[in-house]
Structures are given as structure tokens and as C-alpha cells.
Structure 1
Amino acid sequence: MGKEEELLVALRRVIRAVDLRSKQLSKHFGLTGPQLLVMQNIQEKPGIMVREIADNINLSPATITNILDRLEARDLAKRIRSTTDKRKVGVFLTERGKAAVQDSPRPLQEHFVDRFHQLKEWEQSQMVATMQRIATMMDAEDIDASPFLELGSISEKNS
């Protein structure tokens, strides 16, 4: 097997691990990875604005709006317009949403982050540079992506 094939197999394993975790989350808790990330952001800062959630998890405001539409339809979150500034809409979890976040499993990325922090500084920098280079080689620099290891199908990403 050539080096490029070894690299592609390793990338596929990473993608597969993230995908399996996302499917497990969806099956057992009824939430996609992106939905859970949005809900965790809301829990951390009740009344947070859509733009702020988007900035926090590196997804577009349109994607966050689609996710919120689905969460509201399931009575997990609600958007409330400010009484002092009608242009501002804060996002809050419902009681049902709070329970769902509390019951959710440990994210895959926490395990990854623990191991990553055990590496020496130069190893961390080398890994970041290598992955950024791979993203560039795959023309993926501008793809909407969260800094969390949760993944689903493209249709889930827009949910």
C-alpha cells in the first residue's frame, strides 16, 4: 500500500469513528451532534444570540437557525425576542431541553482533547499543521465545520 493510501485509510478511520459516535448519539438520545452542541451552548449562556452560537461552534448562522427550528419543533429550545431591543432574539432551553442536555453522553472530543494535551507542544503543533495542510490539499479550507468531533450526514448538518 502506498503512503497516500495509508493516509487515506487513516483519515477514513477517523471519519468512521466520528460518524459512529454521532449515530450512537442520535439513536440513543434522539439528537444529532450539531443539535447537542447548540443545546450545550445555550445551556452555558441562556439568552445567547444565534450569531454567538455560530461563532462559538464555527457553523453558519443559517445552519444554527435550521438546527433551532428543529429543536423548537421538539420543544427543546425556544427563541424569545427582547422586550428592550426588538432586533435581539435570545435562545433558551426548555425544561425538556435542559433534561436532554443533562442526560447526554460525554462527547467524543473530550477523550480526544485529553489525549492531545498529553502530547508535547511540538507534537501538538505538528499535528495541527499537518491536518491544516490536508484540509488545504482537499480544498476544504472554507467548509463550514465545528471544532467538535461530532458528525452526521449532510442533511443532519443542516438540521
Structure 2
Amino acid sequence: MHERTHASLVALRRILKATDQHARALSRSTGLTAAQRVLMQIIGEAGETTPKEIAARARISQATVTSLIDKLERRGFATRIRGESDRRQIWISLTPEGRQTMETAPDALQELFSQRFEALENWEQAMIVSSLERVATMLNAQAIDASPLLDGAAIDR
């Protein structure tokens, strides 16, 4: 195996391990998955929002959002409220327990990545995106629909 091939595989393995380690740490400290934490962050920032808005911000389907909200609601972290003027409208907000959990939850790995990535020069960002897209193609993964969550597990678990 050539030296660069070896170095590339090691870097990929480190990325996979970092996402797995972060997911386990998040689960241990809060019981949340990365996707659940991201949804709670979106809801918390909005104060009150709709599943459609959450889906758009998280770039996942409304069906997935509904499944995740069901889980958050069962755990007492989120609540659904019917709209007063339009009873078909559903509003989602965090419960006090959900807000408390978010205060103690570690930052999502994609937040750390986003902060550091956005601090790079434009040419560096373009180079990284191009390289990652090329790697996805090399792994026959270019057609896989994926949200911008750094978690290897199913989103709606």
C-alpha cells in the first residue's frame, strides 16, 4: 500500500472514530442522538417552530422530523401545541427539561466543524469540499442522501 493511500485511510478512519466517539459521549451525557440534539437546538433557537420549518433548517424530511419529535416528546424534552387560529398548525417548543438538557449537552460535532471550516479562506473551503466530494465518489457514496449531521447512525433512531 502506498504511503499516501495509507495516510488517506488513516485520516478517514480518524474521522469515523471521532464521529462515533462524539455520538457515544453525547448519548452518555444526555441520552440524545446527534440528530435529536440538532432538532432541539433548532427548536430552542426559534422558541417555537413548526415541523416544516425544522425539516427545512435540518435538511431532513418532515417524516423524519415527526419521528424525532415523537421521541423527544416521549422523553419530556419537547411539546406539541395546536395553533389557536388554525388547529391544523402544530407548534413545537422545548419543555423546561429540554432547555436544561440543552444547557448541559456538549456541542454538536458539526458545530465545531462548521466554526472551524467557516474560519478558513474561501480557497481552502473549496478545496476541502472538492476533496470530500471526490472521496464520496470513490466510495460509491455520491448518490446517498445525507443530512449535514456528523453521525453515522440512522437519523430517526
Shift of 1:144: 4.0
Q: Where does residue 105 of structure 2 map in the other structure?
A: 104
Shift of 1:44: 0.8
Q: Match of 2:57, as an amino acid? A: N
Across the two proteins, how many residue pairs are aligned to each other? 156
Q: Where does residue 148 of structure 2 map in the other structure?
A: 147
**1:116–1:124 Cα contact (<8 Å) kept:** yes
Q: Where does residue 115 of structure 1 map in the other structure?
A: 116
Residue 36 of structure 1: SS of its match in structure 2?
helix
Q: Structure 1 length as normaliser, TM-score?
A: 0.85
Shift of 1:4: 4.4
**1:75–1:97 Cα contact (<8 Å) kept:** yes
**2:38–2:58 Cα contact (<8 Å) kept:** yes
**Are 1:66 and 2:67 counterparts?**
yes
**CA deviation profile, 1:75-104 (whole Å, cap 9, x unmatched):** 110111112112211111111111111111
5+ residue gaps, structure 1, are: none
**2:51–2:91 Cα contact (<8 Å) kept:** yes
Residue 143 of structure 1: SS of its match in structure 2?
coil
**2:38–2:108 Cα contact (<8 Å) kept:** no
Q: Structure 2 length as normaliser, TM-score?
A: 0.86
Q: CA RMSD in A?
A: 2.0
Q: Where does residue 132 of structure 1 map in the other structure?
A: 133
Q: Where does residue 90 of structure 1 map in the other structure?
A: 91
**1:32–1:152 Cα contact (<8 Å) kept:** no
Q: Match of 2:156, as an amino acid? A: N
